[in-house]
Amino acid sequence: MSEKEILLQSIKDFLTPKMLKYALVPFILSLIVMYIIFFIIAGIGVEHLGTMHVQSSQTTIENGIPHTESLEVQLESSGIVKFLMSYTITSWLATFLIYAIGGFLTIYISIFVTVIIIGFLTPLILRELQKRDYMDVEMIGHSNILYAIFSALKWTVTMLFLFILFIPFYFIPLINIVAINVPLYYFFHKMLTFDISSNICTKEEDKKIKFFSSNKIVMKTAALYTLSLIPFAIFFGAIFFVIYLGHTYFLEIRKIRAK
């Protein structure tokens, strides 16, 4: 099956009533989780902005004797906001930063949350694909819940470490775009390929796919990750991602077992 045929078949499978029903699950759950996270972050931000403690000291020498004067000011949130919004430039910058940072965080957090949620639906989606097109390919699998949780935690820690490691590159134009996305793509790639491979093939078969088809899998997950950066695309497209990669893995396993 050519790549074009895989893509067309994936779209056809995605548009079936059952798959569209599955697509509602990550959409609804992700929105609920994002809604909760938004208010938690907003609450923390308002709390920290609510009061700002400013302290300064100045030392002067009079007749050879040092005198230290201290100044303590407690700024309330309303005063801070009024100050920022009282000038056109600061108002524009504050608004831009809020929307820009909020937009990026929303997209990245939504990808992280949806990838985790979709993991619970992956077995159902793959079994449906097997019934339709791959009855000759047995779904063996090679994982358990404890190993899956351990792997997800390990990849999450690695992702956070990469975010910290790449901080110096965030201030370099163009390079910062790559530096910001590499950690999350790493998590996206690991979780998506693990969810699919652990449900279909054995460990040995998974190793063979990674060895012989690594570049193909990476190119596909990179393309899917790029699509997920489109606002709200991950909510609706997560099921399609599993279908598309699922076809790829089923075909690879079929070739391996035929030999």
Structure token pair of residue 167:
């901080």
Residue with tokens 């956070």: 160
The 3-state DSSP class for residue 174 equals: coil
| Predicted pLDDT at 1 | 76
The 3-state DSSP class for residue 125 equals: helix
CB 26 within 8 A of CB 118: yes
pLDDT digits (tens, 9 = 90+) for 99-158: 556 656 667 777 888 888 888 889 999 999 999 889 998 998 888 888 888 999 999 999
DSSP 170: G
Q: How far apart are the first and last CA of the chain?
A: 17
pLDDT band, residue 26 (cuts 50/70/90): confident
pTM (2 d.p.) = 0.75
Range with the poorest average pLDDT among 2-16, 63-77, 171-185, 244-258: 63-77
| Predicted pLDDT at 37 | 66
> What is the rounded distance in angstroms from the CA atom of residue 234 to the CA atom of residue 222?
14
Structure token pair of residue 120:
């619970």
Q: Could you tell me how far CA 82 lies from the centroid of its own chain?
A: 35
Return the bridge partners of 60, or none.
67
pLDDT digits (tens, 9 = 90+) for 192-226: 999 999 999 999 999 999 888 889 999 999 999 99
Question: Which positions ≥6 away from 140 have C-beta within 8 Å?
Answer: 200, 201, 202, 205
Task: Look at residue 187 and tell me whether its pLDDT is greater than 90.
Answer: yes
